[in-house]
Chain A
């Protein structure tokens, strides 16, 4: 009995996993074939506005407060150790490599991912997706590709925006409130920040954008009937995206740190 139940659940999970990757494959195929047509880019523009412009306040607030909290908490320890002037190094590397991409992605998963799942889920249960197919249009090309592209393009841009907000807010705490001299603060920061740090942050945010777009659209497309089905799909979408972001972040961090050591050796931030 237990073995049958486990077997059934495993089979269902594998089936859902296969469906998800098939969905990704179809989206990639449609993207490759439709990316060069102007009329398809017209579908992307409203999504860029929806994902980007409307997320700016949330991302700005997230970045700003994360930068300030980080500066407040790091100051006492670094000051006691005599490294207060190097606080910008810790602050900015942490922001650019880790907190910026992860927190921006989590905020986007909540704001954009949830909205995308709800929108597509509602379209699904009200037969709008069936209507598209019945009229000879492919819903993946028409609905998924523009939303997915918007997430993929804008997640790195919004992450950079969060990084800038956090960096400026952290500098304000350090230089403005804690009276760390500006010259050494900026010198050490610029000296320690490398293209590598920016690259790791960029790669992370790109992958997080991929996860948000794909999971949100998939969950919306495969939600069950009724308001309950849409609500459940939104919750599942956020939880799955959030977990995937944290797990993938761990693997990228492990891989990038190892690769950095192989290429450049150990780097001390202080």
Chain B
């Protein structure tokens, strides 16, 4: 499917039941309009990849989904419940259904790896210490880090921190996992490990995933569906295959990893191509 510059109606496509829905969501920070009447449905069991330029508002969308940010106007629904009007207390039961992998991992510095992964379990369940330790080991094994339980986040590499963040995100077996730039800052091999992990979790836990990324290799590998956010609006919605054949100029630039001539004009030397 090829996108037009005008905003798409992304709410009525596909067959899966929507689990998260954004209706006419607008968000502004100071004078900067980040989202303009955005409509989007994320369908159950599907991996949706959100692409777009830096600062386009991709992470803002993720934060609206778990109500870390409230829209200036519009509505956000999760499993049929309107969540943008809920208080933090009312959101507790809902947030347990989500896992959120933050861009830099957002691990608690003062905790060990095991304490970080155990955190949501300790907070929301009354399991025994041995049971928690077993679950932590299982989750760490899923991300290939079992044995690092006693390390502090400062002792881990960037890729390991992200994987621990992922283990923490899946600690309560969530239905929906949100990934904020899971491969940014990692080398291609480590990026591929993260991509494989996302696919593995999708298969083993049958979760709904929303992934924000700039990494086109990730998009092609993990995405069931790709949406592109540009200047506060969705300008593309389709499969990774559709994306490859899109004739939308902005999408093409992303696919080919190529800046437009006008974007390069300022940095090109006079008289040189």
Contacts and interface: CB of A to CB of B under 8 A. Distances in A.
Interface string A122-139: 110011101101111110
Given A133-B88, A134-B98, A136-B95, A127 B103 contact: yes
A128 B111 CA distance: 12
Given A127-B104, A131-B102, A137 B123 contact: yes
Contacts of A138: 88-89, 92
B92 A128 contact: no
A135 B66 CA distance: 9
Interface residues of A, number: 13
Size category of the binding interface on chain B: 20 to 34
Nearest to A140: B88
* Nearest 5 interchain pairs by C-beta: A136-B95, A131-B106, A134-B100, A127-B106, A136-B92
B36 interface: no
Interface in A97-122: 122
A46 to B, nearest CB: 8
Contacts of A134: 66, 68, 95, 98, 100, 102
B79 to A, nearest CB: 15
Nearest to B174: A135
B33 interface: no
Contacts of A127: 102-104, 106
A135 B103 contact: no
Contact of B68 (A123, A133, A137): A133
Interface in B92-118: 92-96, 98, 100, 102-104, 106-109
B78 to A, nearest CB: 13
B68 A130 contact: yes
Query: Chain B CB within 10 Å — which of A126, A131, A135, A138 has the most?
Result: A135
B104 A135 contact: no
A128 B89 contact: no
B120 interface: yes
A19 to B, nearest CB: 15
Given A123-B108, A136-B92, 15 more contacts: A126-B104, A127-B106, A131-B108, A133-B66, A133-B68, A134-B95, A134-B100, A135-B95, A135-B119, A135-B123, A136-B93, A136-B120, A136-B123, A137-B119, A138-B88
A25 to B, nearest CB: 14
Nearest to A131: B106
Query: Chain B CB within 10 Å — which of A126, A131, A137 has the most?
Result: A131
30 contacts: A126-B104, A126-B106, A127-B102, A127-B106, A128-B107, A130-B63, A130-B68, A130-B102, A130-B106, A131-B100, A131-B102, A131-B108, A133-B68, A133-B95, A134-B68, A134-B95, A134-B98, A134-B100, A134-B102, A135-B95, A135-B100, A135-B120, A136-B91, A136-B120, A136-B123, A136-B124, A137-B119, A137-B123, A138-B89, A138-B92
A122 B63 CA distance: 19
Contacts of A130: 63, 68, 102, 106
Interface string A32-56: 0000000000000000000000000
A126 B153 CA distance: 13
Contacts of A126: 104, 106
Contacts of A122: 109
Contacts of A128: 106-109
Query: Chain B CB within 10 Å — which of A122, A130, A136 has the most?
Result: A136
